[in-house]
Amino acid sequence: MTEQDLRLISEAARTLRPLLKTARRAALCTHIDPDGDGIGAEICLLGYLRELGIEARVINTEPLPVRYRFLDPGGAVEVYDAARHDAFLRGADLLFMLDNSAVTRLGPLEPAVRASRATTICIDHHDVLEPFWKINLIDRQACAAGELVFQIIKALGGRLDRLSAQAAYVSMVTDTGYFRFSKTSPRCHEAAAEMLAAGVEPPLVYQEVFERNSQALVRLGGTALAGLRVEEGGRLAWISLTRDQIAACEAESEDTSDIINELLTIDGVRLAVLFKELSGDRTKLSFRSKGDLDVNRLAARFGGGGHTNAAGAVVKGALDGTIDRILGPCRELLKRPA
């Protein structure tokens, strides 16, 4: 870890230490449709806060996806319900937002978070600073929010057990594509080595996270890939899914974001897009890219966001019209000088 990295982590620990000493109750949240990084960061931090004697609760907008349930054997992650959670959120001393800084990405949690008297703390690694949070602990060099949580806990003098280390490890492997995306660094490999020393089992993690696909999702992937389109001299690949196709595969509740990764395995493809038709005249966009081709900025043009090489958005509009509207900016992005 560089001196600058160490300084940032140390400053984050100094900021949190007095707050943790006096806190009695803490709420932990992440963005809607929580992913491996947000969930891993929450569960990692939850274990540490409880070790300090703080009454800490993870409150999310949706249940844990099947592939991440092994991270929470005790069923600590709760699904937000106003009657059950608003009073706790209002009265919490600390409210942590993990892997997200946009208040608008809290979904139904947003009003309760805004009404809370808690000291609000955002721990994130995205290149966004949201003034709503009283304390912003942002480290753009971290490969995942879970890695940042892991480093801060270490700087605070905490020790992570196997379950907490496993949660942080899942944050890292999901957000780095198992250490192949651009934010993979010596720093995150050093952290991974420490997590393995704490008892994390990579074969188990891979099996749970990446080998839990349903038959419906596999069929849907085949349907999507059968409609592959390649443009711009082989540099742009895109696929689409209609609601009828999703229903025919009985895959209405499936997370389709990983299907698009197959397009990047095609020789020459630098930018890949998945268009997924949603209800209410909406379309979900999933972008993936290679190298320094920044799809995060592309997604931001349509109200979304993410990372340099993986981002997404949901836009208003029917599928066919949206495809025509989005492909233009995709082609423009590929034409820009590196």
The model's pLDDT over 84-103, given as tens digits with 9 standing for 90+, comes to 999 999 999 999 999 999 89
- Of the three residues 142, 175, 210, the one that is the final residue of a domain is 210
The two structure tokens encoding residue 24:
């009695």
Strand positions, DSSP E, 177-299: 229-231, 236-241, 271-278, 282-289
What CATH number does residue 280 fall under?
A: 3.10.310.30
Q: Going edge to edge, which strands form the sheet with 25-29?
A: 77-79, 55-60, 25-29, 94-98, 119-124, 135-138
- Based on the domain organization, do 90 and 146 belong to the same domain? yes
CA distance 31 to 107: 8
- Of the three residues 180, 210, 240, the one that is the final residue of a domain is 210
- Based on the domain organization, do 150 and 171 belong to the same domain? yes
In a 3-state reduction of DSSP, which class is residue 271?
strand
- Based on the domain organization, do 136 and 236 belong to the same domain? no
- Based on the domain organization, do 147 and 109 belong to the same domain? yes
Calculate the alpha carbon distances from 179 to 33, 144, 192, 326 in Å. 23, 11, 10, 29
- Based on the domain organization, do 205 and 229 belong to the same domain? no
In a 3-state reduction of DSSP, which class is residue 284?
strand
- Based on the domain organization, do 42 and 169 belong to the same domain? yes
Structural domains in the chain (count): 2
- Of the three residues 178, 210, 242, the one that is the final residue of a domain is 210
Residue 154 burial (CB < 10 Å; 0-12/13-18/19+)? middle
- Based on the domain organization, do 132 and 245 belong to the same domain? no
Q: Strands 77-79 and 55-60, how do they pair?
A: parallel
- Based on the domain organization, do 183 and 235 belong to the same domain? no
Q: Look at residue 168 in the predicted model and tell me its pLDDT.
A: 98
The two structure tokens encoding residue 104:
């608008």
CA distance 305 to 99: 12
- Based on the domain organization, do 246 and 274 belong to the same domain? yes
Residue type, 248: A
- Based on the domain organization, do 268 and 202 belong to the same domain? no
Q: Look at residue 182 in the predicted model and tell me its pLDDT.
A: 78
- Based on the domain organization, do 134 and 195 belong to the same domain? yes
Q: Look at residue 338 in the predicted model and tell me its pLDDT.
A: 52
Q: Look at residue 16 in the predicted model and tell me its pLDDT.
A: 98
User: In terms of residue numbers, what domain contains 114?
Assistant: 3-210
Q: Give pTM, 2 decimals.
A: 0.88
pLDDT (tens digit per residue) in 216-241 = 999 999 999 999 999 999 999 999 99
In tens digits, the chain (338 residues) has pLDDT values of 788 889 999 999 999 999 999 999 999 999 998 999 999 999 999 999 999 999 999 999 999 999 999 999 999 999 999 999 999 999 999 999 999 998 988 999 999 999 999 999 999 998 778 899 999 999 999 999 999 999 999 999 999 999 999 999 999 999 998 998 878 899 999 999 999 999 999 999 999 999 999 999 999 999 999 999 999 999 999 999 999 999 999 999 888 888 999 999 999 999 999 999 999 999 999 999 998 899 999 999 998 888 888 899 999 999 999 999 999 999 999 987 65
What CATH number does residue 49 fall under?
A: 3.90.1640.10
- Based on the domain organization, do 33 and 159 belong to the same domain? yes
